[in-house]
Amino acid sequence: MTIANIARKNGPFVAAAGETTFPYSFRIFTTDQILVFQNDTSVNAALFTVTGVDSDTGGNVIFNNGLAGGEIVWIFGDTTKEQPTDYPPAGPFPALSHETGLDRSIMVLWEFEEELERRPALKPSTLTALRNLEFPQPGANELIGWNSAGDALTLFESTIRTVTPLAGGGARVEAQTTVAVPAVAANTLVAVGIVPSGALLKALLTHNSAAFGVTSGLSGYSLGTVSAPERFGRNIPVTLLAENNPGQWRNYVQEPANSALDAILTAETGPFDTDGTAIVTAVYDVYVNPTVVP
């Protein structure tokens, strides 16, 4: 008889609590020509039985023990890759055995097709020169990608990924500087270049070591950088500006610095008016490649 183009897999089945029986809809020749997966794990054949051998409509996979509710079951055909029919010279033509052999070959092809459907593939429009790609020899902790010409796969240099701290210290760095209000009233105070080029800024903090003058209407200040002048806090009340004030602003971010970053204190309402100092602390990480971090 002919054989229909029937998928050689069934599922996913979502098990109810205690469920044991799951159907398959394709033909198998022996009970060992079934692969069963419970979630993503192949199930040992000793843990289930199979019915419906040599039936065109399939049968059932029956687990020895009920499954937990919500478990996922897949059933795949796994036809033996063999040709068991012998044709002796001048012997009889065993039509049934011959047809079974042809059916077996078609089943194997369908199973290969199903497996290939789960593999990445180049687009049909891919140039002929790229159709026989080879993977490079494995390298520990290396990444595979296209080479600079875009015509072969290669391993990336490890320095693209590797995090390397500055000499003599860890990757996490804390820099601190004192900024004083100038003799002439100013709207901004700047901790120049407190974060070096290539660093990832994690936090900014301020601590007032001497009281700011407020005679010109200063009501507080915001803390940030050129690109984000208010990121680390703003509108701090005058009561927080007293001498030795422990108040700090803190906000963890990652801000890659293409050039050195200044920390900027921006006055609220009125200017800083010739009195006071602030200790500015920056916490940042330094990497060989600032665009790739763990």
Which CATH number among 2.60.120, 3.30.420, 1.25.40, 1.10.1060 corresponds to the domain 172-286?
2.60.120
For residues 30 and 107, the answer to whether their CB atoms sit within 8 Å is no
Per-domain residue ranges of the chain: 9-116, 131-160, 172-286
Nearest to 77 by CA among 33, 116, 42, 37: 33
pLDDT value, residue 164: 47
Amino acid at the residue 12: P
The dihedral region occupied by 52, where left means phi > 0, alpha psi between -120 and 50, and beta the remainder, is left
pLDDT value, residue 70: 95
Amino acid at the residue 195: V
Q: What does the pLDDT profile of the chain (294 residues) look like in tens digits?
A: 566 667 889 999 999 999 999 999 999 999 999 999 999 899 999 999 999 999 989 999 999 999 999 999 999 999 988 887 788 888 888 888 778 888 888 888 888 888 888 888 888 888 888 888 888 888 877 788 888 888 888 887 655 444 444 444 446 788 888 888 888 888 888 988 888 877 778 788 888 777 777 778 887 888 888 766 666 666 566 555 666 665 555 555 555 566 788 888 888 888 888 778 888 888 887 765 444 444
Would the pTM of this model clear 0.85, i.e. be above it? no
Q: Which long-range contacts (CB under 8 A, 24 or more apart) does 227-231 make?
A: 227/255, 228/255, 229/264, 229/266, 230/266
Residue 74 CA to residue 9 CA, distance in Å, equals 7
Percentage helix, strand, coil for the chain under 3-state DSSP, each rounded to 5:
10, 35, 55
For every residue of 5-50, DSSP letters joined together read: ---SEEEEEEPPTT--EEEE-S--SSTTSEEEEETTEEPPGGGEEE
The distance of Cα 201 from the centroid of its chain, to the nearest Å, equals: 23
Where helices occur in the chain by DSSP H, the ranges are 95-116
